[in-house]
Amino acid sequence: MCFKELEESFKDHCGIFGIYCPDKKLEVAKVTYFGLYALQHRGQESSGIAVNDTGTILYHKDNGLVNEVFNEVVLNHLKGHSAIGHVRYSTTGKNDRENAQPLVVKYRKGHMALVHNGNLVNAHIIREKLEQEGAIFQTTIDSEVIANLISRNRIKSDNIEEAILKTMDEIKGAYSLLILTPNKLIAVRDPYGLRPLVMGKINNSICFASETCALDTVGAEYIRDVEPGEIVTVTKDGIKSTKYRQSFKHLCVFEFIYFARADSYLDGISVYEIRKKLGKQLCKESYVECDIVIGVPDSGTTAAIGFSEEAKIPFSEGFVKNRYIGRTFIKPEQSQREISVRLKLNPLKNNVAGKRVVLIDDSIVRGTTSRKIIKMLRDAGAREVHLRISSPPVLFPCYYGIDTPDRKELIAANYTTQEIAKILGADSLEYLSLEGLNSVFENKLQNFCTACFSGEYITEIPEGFNKYIFEEGV
Amino acid sequence: MCFKELEESFKDHCGIFGIYCPDKKLEVAKVTYFGLYALQHRGQESSGIAVNDTGTILYHKDNGLVNEVFNEVVLNHLKGHSAIGHVRYSTTGKNDRENAQPLVVKYRKGHMALVHNGNLVNAHIIREKLEQEGAIFQTTIDSEVIANLISRNRIKSDNIEEAILKTMDEIKGAYSLLILTPNKLIAVRDPYGLRPLVMGKINNSICFASETCALDTVGAEYIRDVEPGEIVTVTKDGIKSTKYRQSFKHLCVFEFIYFARADSYLDGISVYEIRKKLGKQLCKESYVECDIVIGVPDSGTTAAIGFSEEAKIPFSEGFVKNRYIGRTFIKPEQSQREISVRLKLNPLKNNVAGKRVVLIDDSIVRGTTSRKIIKMLRDAGAREVHLRISSPPVLFPCYYGIDTPDRKELIAANYTTQEIAKILGADSLEYLSLEGLNSVFENKLQNFCTACFSGEYITEIPEGFNKYIFEEGV
Amino acid sequence: MCFKELEESFKDHCGIFGIYCPDKKLEVAKVTYFGLYALQHRGQESSGIAVNDTGTILYHKDNGLVNEVFNEVVLNHLKGHSAIGHVRYSTTGKNDRENAQPLVVKYRKGHMALVHNGNLVNAHIIREKLEQEGAIFQTTIDSEVIANLISRNRIKSDNIEEAILKTMDEIKGAYSLLILTPNKLIAVRDPYGLRPLVMGKINNSICFASETCALDTVGAEYIRDVEPGEIVTVTKDGIKSTKYRQSFKHLCVFEFIYFARADSYLDGISVYEIRKKLGKQLCKESYVECDIVIGVPDSGTTAAIGFSEEAKIPFSEGFVKNRYIGRTFIKPEQSQREISVRLKLNPLKNNVAGKRVVLIDDSIVRGTTSRKIIKMLRDAGAREVHLRISSPPVLFPCYYGIDTPDRKELIAANYTTQEIAKILGADSLEYLSLEGLNSVFENKLQNFCTACFSGEYITEIPEGFNKYIFEEGV
Amino acid sequence: MCFKELEESFKDHCGIFGIYCPDKKLEVAKVTYFGLYALQHRGQESSGIAVNDTGTILYHKDNGLVNEVFNEVVLNHLKGHSAIGHVRYSTTGKNDRENAQPLVVKYRKGHMALVHNGNLVNAHIIREKLEQEGAIFQTTIDSEVIANLISRNRIKSDNIEEAILKTMDEIKGAYSLLILTPNKLIAVRDPYGLRPLVMGKINNSICFASETCALDTVGAEYIRDVEPGEIVTVTKDGIKSTKYRQSFKHLCVFEFIYFARADSYLDGISVYEIRKKLGKQLCKESYVECDIVIGVPDSGTTAAIGFSEEAKIPFSEGFVKNRYIGRTFIKPEQSQREISVRLKLNPLKNNVAGKRVVLIDDSIVRGTTSRKIIKMLRDAGAREVHLRISSPPVLFPCYYGIDTPDRKELIAANYTTQEIAKILGADSLEYLSLEGLNSVFENKLQNFCTACFSGEYITEIPEGFNKYIFEEGV
């Protein structure tokens, strides 16, 4: 598909939302629907919601956007006092409806539904071990591994929280989980806090979401972030917190740079503010004399505004983006190749013609999109194009739930900055420095996962790991 | 839904089909599609096909008829040297797409796909035991229990056949299975041979089907029936047969009376011939002087022809059946109640007006349909209506894969024949005797399961068993 | 598509249904839905319903069977006191959703909806004339021509009935029409009564249908047939009949032989009775010593029963028909050619093996199906196959609404009966004689259209007419 | 539906695209698909494409976005040397698939397909006249009126251009048309040039589009705008221009203010430039001391940037817009009312908290959205909110193809500016002056239609006109 080239940015794997409404005054499936709607940017391939009503878990899930998968009739069937939901970005081209979440299983204590955002790095090892003991697997998602472990650990545990703690001893990697059991809604965040998870309140209902923008959308008040290594259990009797024996703060820094919606706050920090500051810092580090500052829509806009303010060079729009771009499967014929790029973006010719342009983007992955965008600007008459990136070079793949290519496809891992500038056709190229990034985070960058820049992974990465590992044999 | 009342007959749960084509000269998914097409009468709720190509199992399944679920594009994607397929009659009103078959799982030896026709009577006990050990279940179908057992038994076995034999020690009840593994297509029939399974050949491809009509349809030559307790393994090196330590002949007699398609042969016996003989024997036992013999379309037609021949009373058509009756979800309003019956059947008024009619049906379950049909005949002017049933009274529920109501809803289990005649509005009612049934089967009725007539179940029925057992908590 | 070969029988073009319920006690759209359901055999390509409520005509139509095109939500939107509906057999392979009926138009007197069963023979001449005057056409259906004429004639008329009478002066051919205007439901039958149209009553609602089986299905009482050349107007004030200046009785004889459902009565005559008598007469004319009589399912069954009774040779079933045969678009691969026939029919081997068979069918068009069926019987072991046809040879195409091939494709128009027997592989072949047909109709065959046998068309056939005439340029 | 409230802006009715490729080197349906994709902002309710190949016009149209209505299979069927396409914004809630364009008709000279952008003000008068003469209408779109007139005028004309000229004498109002005939692609723009229409070139193919952004997207080079009153005919022999006897320049000024995509050029003027200048001029007229300038996304952004530059107050983002907002039919329950607004927009709290904000929008219709947005800003902590509108007050409805409410619902037609400020909750409100608007257009505002501001309609508005006129009786 032609657009994929253009949409070469990183992709997060999932968004999750859950709610417990003890008095059933809210229609939990609908609230979850709207919560997922606000998290759609975190995953557009599949959507699902499970509800619990007196031990009976009903669910519906399929490939598609939230508003494609659900309608009034389906939502009206999903009655209950608690609900969890999931949107997913699929990393593979396969028809993998079976991999949609929530995963709903029956185990000895009744039914359980799970949704998961993140990526385990040792799921393949656990699966192999469980398979050696005779277990069978029906999907390729980590949630199935986690559900198996919880079920097994539940045997020797007094309660599910204990079983989850034992499971946390076994699984390594990134996970924000929401679990529905006959009586509980449980939120779990891995001990490193790699993926975000926030908690809110609507009247006397408690809800959880990947980002605060979902709380805002459903009209919930923000309470606090679920802490790294924390298990929050909600029942009709209220909220209980259980802590894993150790925890660290290592929220993925890319949530701030690119994934999260600008209006969200993660661990109490405004995503928008960070992005603007990244633009300002970028300007401090690599100012260049120019006529206008433009951002790659939409991901580079906020940093561009920050850069513009700092540089005192006017911010301007360089492109118009087609707001109706959706999933199209029509491929332009060979002779119409350029269409694929133009379908999404068109430069504002007389805004850039004859100008020296600073072009801001949040990151470069393979560089294919950047090259096309720079060519568009030049074709539109830009005199100079100086590319500025509001994050350091991505040198290492992510193992914690972000869809990155192999190292050999990461342009920054293979070329010098000058070489990249040349490949992309830019007059100059500068990245933000790691120090600059640190300063934007008020010198607390050690509290974030920056493995994609530094290669210093928070956890051990087991040999043989790759993210499609379970699908290879399929 | 209005028609359900009318379609109150027994329902079989499934039809299965499989093929192994070593030289890939046939498109195995398409052949399976056509095989399932011929078996559609065995299940209309969901359809699915899995194919194996060098260890990779691809599959597609969904709710709907075979020609609704599959199209050319999907079938063309399902490439391989072997395939299995399944059509299912669902016993519940739920949206249970998750229960569609084939079940495809990954276990330590790779991928495995299963389809199952029949019903285990101890699946709930095995599930509970497995759950106690920490296993989780994602569906409510027996196939998931079987796959779990095979996977566990495979650990201590030299090959999959040995694991299947061990599994056969554990599972009780009716099962005809087709299993796809990376290198094999395996057919299994339970030691009682409760559900049918036949084997055929197209050139050098081997295929299996629930009934011979599927072999005829795909142009395969009938070889033989898979024997009770037999495991037939097909690989590129040919066919291998493994026998369970003991076996009996107890094919479900209702396959002949009602389920199977009239053109099929089961264990070498023509279904059509049996039905015609049942009609003749019925006449011998309970002749009544009349003007015409009619059958309830379509299930009573063949027995009616037999009765007519024996009685020397003309066979005639009593009703016209709407050939386009499909799944409709439109309910006539209260004031239009009669529509529901008439949508399906309309009596041929001047064929029955003033006539003494013998009405033949294969069986009576709750009696609701029969009552309506007899009323229709009377409204059309029939002078007398004598109901004759080509099988003995159904007094006991089936636990082996047929959808029968509770005993308290089986009319024959609660009323005398005379009372039933009165309830149904018939001038007289006679059932075929068990002896008569025996004679039609050449006095070998002991080789068939007749538990629904006699209450003598082939296997022990574990306490607490009922067929929705896994769904109760859902 | 493979089946088409087999389904080579004649096809009627349409079924129509209408109802006027002055007190709105019935949901007219639902009643029409059920009426169309009963008429589905008359057309399976498109379905549509229009309702009138205080001058506002709402409608819904699309390609597909009635139960595919409509659902509860759509029907609930179609509120009104009167409704008309249509099912259509499309003669072309095109995506011609635009040709679905009812046709709904606005003209100077308000809105009008029309449904039409039949075929005009001079529509092309009228269209050309109207086009010369500047009219535009958006479909290729006769209804658009009729609506144009009614609209134009309305200018100089005192009421719509007068406009319809003027229109009847202009249009030639077969038409049974139902017309919805702001205040009226109008039924019109052409002066020859070529296509059927009956009138019924449910409480104080009046309804019209192509066949009485639709009246039975919706629980309506049969009143009478609309007469040839009659215009029946239903308003809140009751029923009014207007007669065209001349009329004849020439109902299509093929409605009895093949098209109509066996339980229908047309012009007061039982279709079932005629078919059975055709079988008896056929036997009188061309008895042959044999072991069994079988009919081609389903169209030959009734005549076969009649033949059997007369011949005192047992009637038997020769084939099992797959009841789930639907629209499939999967084509067997070259090597699997035979599948296409077997998907629909499978011979009952041990019913025909070694037997001398009389095979009854209602007609032969191109002969392709008959050849395959006879081959099937021989492959199943039939010793002799004697084909008997319960109507005379079809020598001429129909211009009044039946889909017949060109004369050069009509086998009987090109070969002698003996040659045909040879081509089809039959041991003998006999058709019913025209005299025999006459005797079955009690020597009143002159009251029916038999042009396909005799070439004596009821109306002049304008030069250059063919039924795809409007689509040729498309 | 809840969002409708928010999306209360003006709506254009249609976007059109056409192409003539004499050598068939381009797949004309695909190029048209991509052209419509770029024009999707002009209409999201229905989409359609017609192609011409040797006189045969094939077409496909349905309700939905371009990428919902078309797929590869459909596009591959639409072969030809020329094509026209249409996207439509429907003004009614009805299921009006019948009103989708292109309209395809047969008239005496063969087939003709039309697409139309704009609104006739006398279509109802012409329809009534035609109906009086007996014409029937099947849709409620102006195109059907136009096609009727062209067809009638063609009788006394030497060629279609002459017939179109005669038709232009009869129709009043706004129309940009593309017409496909067996040999020609014809573009027509009304004598006032009310709606835009541009011409481009890809190799030796000629194409037409509502806006230049569609030319850019398909890789076409801009040639010129079709002139007011011009008929451009493209055949295999090249381009021919025919002029209507008189013409004026009165392009709708709102195309610049709001409808057109910012990257388009209309009559040679950059839409983006105008919007930015409107912001600058607005600032000159109604500067207010503030901390930040924000635009209502997305329509106010460009003017906000202009205002910011002129005011030397930083431009900032005030809201995050959910990019996945699509057609949802799920309504939040009563208790969750606020969700409806938040689903689309969420304020960037710490960007506006404590700030004095200038909020820029392009226009105010009913004021409902503006009130909600201002409330959002205040809830987010904005200290002051000064609303500035980059166009004069809309005092009069549009009759030329823009969906405006009745005068009594236009807030500016009923309240003073100060009253409106109070209603909307703004600390101050200023509109751009008409003089200011004139100066932005370099004192040539008389060359544009500004009737919605001034009430000076370009054409006479016939009594009784309203835009739903044809649908009232439906």
Does residue C432 sit within a domain?
yes
Does residue C471 sit within a domain?
no
Q: Which of C105, C133, C470 sits opposite D137 (nearest CB)?
A: C105
CB contact under 8 A, A37 and D343: yes
Over residues A40-50, mean pLDDT:
92
CB contact under 8 A, C272 and B336: no
Residue C149 sits in the same domain as residue C81: yes
Chains interfacing with C (3 or more CB pairs < 8 Å) = B, D
Q: Give the C-alpha separation, C55 to C184, whole Å.
A: 10
Where residue C85 sits, what CATH number does that domain have? 3.60.20.10
- If we measure between CA atoms, which residue out of D391, D368, D407 comes closest to residue D450? D391
* Choice among A175-189, B111-125, D81-95, D298-312 with the minimum mean pLDDT: D81-95
Q: Is the pLDDT of residue A218 over 90?
A: yes
Contact indicator for A42, A101 with CB cutoff of 8 Å:
no
State whether residue C72 sits within 8 Å of chain B by CB: yes
State whether residue C76 sits within 8 Å of chain D by CB: no
Predicted pLDDT at C286: 97
Q: What is the 3-state secondary structure (H, E, C) of A125-184?
A: HHHHHHHHCCCCECCCCHHHHHHHHHHHHHHCCCCHHHHHHHHHHHCCECCEEEEECCCC
Residue A244 sits in the same domain as residue A294: no
**Distance in Å, alpha carbon of B153 to nearest chain A alpha carbon:** 7
* Choice among A229-238, B122-131, B192-201, B397-406 with the minimum mean pLDDT: B397-406
Predicted pLDDT at B469: 45
Q: Which of B57, B108, B134 sits opposite A131 (nearest CB)?
A: B108
Does residue C23 sit within a domain?
yes
CB contact under 8 A, D104 and C138: yes
User: What is the per-residue pLDDT across C80-92, written as a single tens digit (0 to 9) for each?
Assistant: 999 999 999 765 4
Where residue D321 sits, what CATH number does that domain have? 3.40.50.2020
DSSP summary character for residue B249: -
Q: Is the pLDDT of residue C8 over 50?
A: no
At D91, give phi and psi (nearest 5°).
-90, -5
Over residues B201-215, mean pLDDT:
96
Q: Is the pLDDT of residue A198 over 60?
A: yes
CB contact under 8 A, B135 and A151: yes
Which residues have C-beta within 8 Å of that of residue C102, sequence separation ≥ 6? C48, C49, C50, C59, C61, C84, C85, C86, C113, C114, C115, C143, C180
Residue B244 sits in the same domain as residue B284: no
Q: Give the C-alpha separation, D402 to D9, whole Å.
A: 10
State whether residue D249 sits within 8 Å of chain A by CB: no
Contact indicator for B361, B299 with CB cutoff of 8 Å:
yes
- If we measure between CA atoms, which residue out of C72, C69, C66, C71 comes closest to residue C43? C66
Over residues B166-176, mean pLDDT:
97
Give me the residues of C, 147-206, that contact D with CB < 8 A.
147-148, 151-155
Does residue D258 sit within a domain?
no
State whether residue A47 sits within 8 Å of chain D by CB: no
DSSP summary character for residue C137: B
Residue B105 sits in the same domain as residue B17: yes
CB contact under 8 A, B72 and C330: yes
Percentage of chain A beyond pLDDT 90 is: 76
What own/partner pairs with CB < 8 Å and gap ≥ 24 does B246-250 have? B246/B191, B247/B191, B247/B192, B247/B193, B248/B191, B248/B192, B248/B193, B248/B458, B249/B192, B249/B193, B249/B447, B249/B448, B250/B192, B250/B193, B250/B194, B250/B447, B250/B448, B250/B449, B250/B458
- Beta-strand relationship, B384-389 and B356-361: parallel
Which residues have C-beta within 8 Å of that of residue C275, sequence separation ≥ 6? C256, C257, C262, C302, C303, C306, C362, C390
Q: Which of D37, D70, D338 sits opposite A343 (nearest CB)?
A: D37
Q: Give the C-alpha separation, C39 to C264, whole Å.
A: 10
Residue D78 sits in the same domain as residue D114: yes
Residue A337 sits in the same domain as residue A210: no
Tokens (6 digits) for D162 = 């002459």
- Beta-strand relationship, B103-107 and A230-235: unpaired
Does residue B473 sit within a domain?
no
As for how many domains chain D has, the answer is 2
- CB contacts of B315 in chain C (<8 Å) are 305, 315
Does residue C290 sit within a domain?
yes
Residue B98 sits in the same domain as residue B168: yes
- If we measure between CA atoms, which residue out of D88, D86, D98, D92 comes closest to residue D44? D88
Does residue B449 sit within a domain?
no
Residue A70 sits in the same domain as residue A146: yes
Buried b (16+ CB within 10 A) or exposed e, D209-220: bbbbbbbbbbbb
Per-residue pLDDT of chain D (474 residues; tens, 9 = 90+): 222 233 344 555 799 999 999 999 999 999 999 999 999 999 888 999 999 988 889 999 998 889 889 988 899 999 999 999 999 976 543 446 788 999 999 999 999 999 999 999 999 999 999 999 999 999 989 999 999 999 999 999 999 999 999 999 999 999 999 999 989 999 999 999 999 999 999 999 999 999 999 999 999 999 999 999 999 999 999 999 999 999 999 999 999 999 999 999 999 999 999 999 999 999 999 999 999 999 998 889 999 999 999 999 999 999 998 877 665 556 666 556 566 677 888 999 989 999 999 999 999 988 988 999 999 999 999 999 999 999 999 999 998 887 777 888 899 999 999 999 999 999 999 999 999 999 999 999 999 999 999 999 988 888 766 544 444 333
Q: Give the C-alpha separation, B342 to B337, whole Å.
A: 10
- Beta-strand relationship, A185-189 and A230-235: antiparallel
Give residue C1's pLDDT band: very low, low, confident or very high (50, 70, 90): very low
Q: What is the mean pLDDT of chain C?
A: 90
Give residue C329's pLDDT band: very low, low, confident or very high (50, 70, 90): low
CA geometry: angle A149, A155, A157, nearest 5 deg:
95
Give residue A4's pLDDT band: very low, low, confident or very high (50, 70, 90): very low
User: What is the per-residue pLDDT across A79-113, written as a single tens digit (0 to 9) for each?
Assistant: 999 999 999 976 543 446 778 899 999 999 999 99
Active site residue B283: no
Contact indicator for B389, B363 with CB cutoff of 8 Å:
yes
Contact indicator for D110, D104 with CB cutoff of 8 Å:
no
Range of the domain at C279: 273-454
Residue C245 sits in the same domain as residue C284: no
Contact indicator for A307, A279 with CB cutoff of 8 Å:
yes
Q: What's the start-to-end Cα distance of chain D, in Å?
A: 23
Q: Which of A250, A281, A306 is the last residue of a domain?
A: A250
Q: Give the C-alpha separation, A115 to A43, whole Å.
A: 13
Tokens (6 digits) for A200 = 């809110």
Predicted pLDDT at B330: 65
Contact indicator for B26, B205 with CB cutoff of 8 Å:
yes
Residue A163 sits in the same domain as residue A300: no
Mapped onto helix, strand or coil, the DSSP state of residue B354 is: coil
| Inter-helix orientation angle C160-170/C142-155, to 10° | 120
Give residue B10's pLDDT band: very low, low, confident or very high (50, 70, 90): low
State whether residue D473 sits within 8 Å of chain C by CB: yes
User: What is the per-residue pLDDT across A434-454, written as a single tens digit (0 to 9) for each?
Assistant: 999 999 999 999 999 999 999
User: What is the per-residue pLDDT across D293-316, written as a single tens digit (0 to 9) for each?
Assistant: 999 988 899 999 999 999 999 999
CB atoms within 10 A of CB D323: 13
Q: Which of A250, A281, A299 is the last residue of a domain?
A: A250
Q: Which of B250, B282, B307 is the last residue of a domain?
A: B250
Contact indicator for D183, D110 with CB cutoff of 8 Å:
no
User: Concatenated DSSP letters for D55-90?
Assistant: TEEEEEEEES-HHHH--HHHHHH--SSEEEEEEE--
The single-letter code of the amino acid at C64 is G
C-alpha torsion sign, points C265, C269, C273, C278: negative
Q: Give the C-alpha separation, A357 to A305, whole Å.
A: 14
Contact indicator for A78, A107 with CB cutoff of 8 Å:
no
Predicted pLDDT at A45: 87
Q: Give the C-alpha separation, D417 to B178, whole Å.
A: 78
Predicted pLDDT at D39: 95
Residue D296 sits in the same domain as residue D227: no
Which of C74, C328, C341 to probe the B interface (max B CBs under 10 A)?
Answer: C328
Q: Give the C-alpha separation, C436 to C358, whole Å.
A: 19
Predicted pLDDT at A452: 94
What would you report as the CA-atom Rg of chain D, rounded to the nearest whole angstrom? Answer: 23
CA geometry: angle D395, D121, C136, nearest 5 deg:
155
The single-letter code of the amino acid at B9 is S
Residue D29 sits in the same domain as residue D118: yes
User: What is the per-residue pLDDT across B370-409, written as a single tens digit (0 to 9) for each?
Assistant: 999 999 999 999 999 999 999 999 999 998 887 777 888 8
Number of alpha helices (DSSP H) and beta strands (DSSP E) in chain C:
17, 23
CB contact under 8 A, D155 and C136: no
Does residue B195 sit within a domain?
yes
